[in-house]
Amino acid sequence: MRKKFIYIFFNFLKIFLIVSFIFVILFLLIQIIEDLPDFLLHRKSFVLRNYIYTSPLLFVQISPIITILSSMLVLSEMLKNNEIKVFFLSGNNPFKIFSIFLLCGLFSSIFAFTLKNFVSPPLIKKIKNTIKQEQIAFSSPKYFFYSDRLENKYFINVEFSEYFENGEFIIIKAKRAKNYESFYWIFESGTLWRFDSEKNLVEKEKFNTKNILIFLTYEILSISTIDIETFSYFQLSQILNKMKKLGIKPVSLITYTYEKIFYPLLNFFLIFIIFPFLKKSYKISNLYVFSFSFLFSFSCYFLYIFFFSLSKNGKIHPFFGNGGVIFVILIYIILQNIGLKKIKKSCNIFRRLKI
């Protein structure tokens, strides 16, 4: 079994690397051609380094196509050379061979997860850290925060309110503010008003600088202005945990956090589609391999986007929004396997009747 594993896995790895290189280069060229009018019309500078930085993320996005195509090509060659039949005649059942392909899919998922969460975020951050947004607003049962814009981690023209359990609250207006360490903030050139539980003004204070402990962080407030791809799953989880303490559950952010795990995991579950071909054990042409791989992977991708959009808009739970396509694949394989068993059973009955 060890020799079979080495043979199948290294064949898969060889094709996987070749196909990955070809597809990444191809999609990068397409991206450059799409951006070419901007370079010519608006005289933007062409920076090749930026396209290289996006290549890990680009690979992750097209990894489902690469994974299913690589596994189908390996299976196709084995069927053409009658190697699958030899394996079966030597006492191996389809599940043993299929388990090796599953390990190939697991490798693809781990590789995509590593790129998406550890390699891509710092590279994307070097290209573009923020999305232009004029206003930043945050509201929770305890805090209200508003800023005109964000400049070099400084919030400009800030309005801040904090509500206490005894009914008292404070309001701060400042020219700018910064979260310089953990939950510690510094406000500059502003005024603080303190009110009692009856909304009577108790204190008014003008200040040049004022340090305040607030259970808000720069990441929580600026998450809507920063590209999600600059965060890993673990960083997003930390931000969500801080929001949870404030009684906030941002559905969209939770969906993106789940996506950091589920999208790479899709590569593993796509391997299940080759099991029916393995059981039938008939030869398949390269044209069929390519057409089927593209059609099936694109169908899964659009289905994934459909579930993802529903989840992001709060229509379904983020877990099902990201894992829905995986359940669809498994249900499809189960139903197809049941169908094959019924067909085989009916054929056996027909043969007996004929005899």
DSSP symbols for 37-58: HHHHHS-PPP-HHHHHHHHHHH
Which pair of structure tokens corresponds to residue 87?
């394996």
pLDDT at 91: 74
Could you tell me where the beta strands, DSSP code E, fall in 66-200?
136-139, 143-151, 154-163, 169-181, 184-195
Q: Measured between alpha carbons, how far is 157 from 177 in angstroms, rounded to an integer? A: 8
Q: Measured between alpha carbons, how far is 328 from 259 in angstroms, rounded to an integer? A: 17
Q: Is 293 exposed, middle or buried (0-12, 13-18, 19+ CB in 10 A)?
A: buried
Task: Give the residue extent of every domain in the chain.
Answer: 2-129+255-354, 136-226
55 half-sphere exposure, CB direction, 13 A CA radius: 16
- In tens digits, the chain (355 residues) has pLDDT values of 688 889 999 999 999 999 999 999 999 999 988 888 877 777 777 888 999 999 999 999 999 999 999 999 999 999 888 888 888 777 777 888 899 999 999 999 999 999 999 999 999 988 864 445 568 989 888 999 999 998 888 999 999 999 999 999 999 999 999 999 889 999 999 999 999 999 999 999 999 999 999 989 998 998 877 789 999 999 999 999 988 888 788 899 999 999 999 999 999 999 998 888 887 767 788 888 999 899 999 999 999 999 999 999 889 999 999 999 999 988 888 887 776 555 455 555 445 544 5
Per-residue three-class SS string for 148-167: EEEECCEEEEEEEEEECCCC
pLDDT at 283: 77
Q: Measured between alpha carbons, how far is 169 from 143 in angstroms, rounded to an integer? A: 10
Q: Is 220 exposed, middle or buried (0-12, 13-18, 19+ CB in 10 A)?
A: buried
Which pair of structure tokens corresponds to residue 134?
């004029």
Taking each helix axis from N to C terminus, what angle separates 48-80 and 286-312, rounded to the nearest 10 degrees? 130
pLDDT at 236: 95
pLDDT at 115: 97
Give me the DSSP letters along 222-242.
HGGGB-GGGS-HHHHHHHHHH
Q: Which residues, 6+ apart, have CB-to-CB distance to 26 below 8 Å?
A: none
pLDDT at 112: 97
- This model's pTM is above 0.75: yes
pLDDT at 57: 96
pLDDT at 245: 82
Q: Is 113 exposed, middle or buried (0-12, 13-18, 19+ CB in 10 A)?
A: buried
Q: Measured between alpha carbons, how far is 54 from 24 in angstroms, rounded to an integer? A: 10
Please report, for residues 73, 131, 232, the alpha-carbon distance to residue 216 in angstroms, rounded to integers and kept in the order given. 52, 21, 20
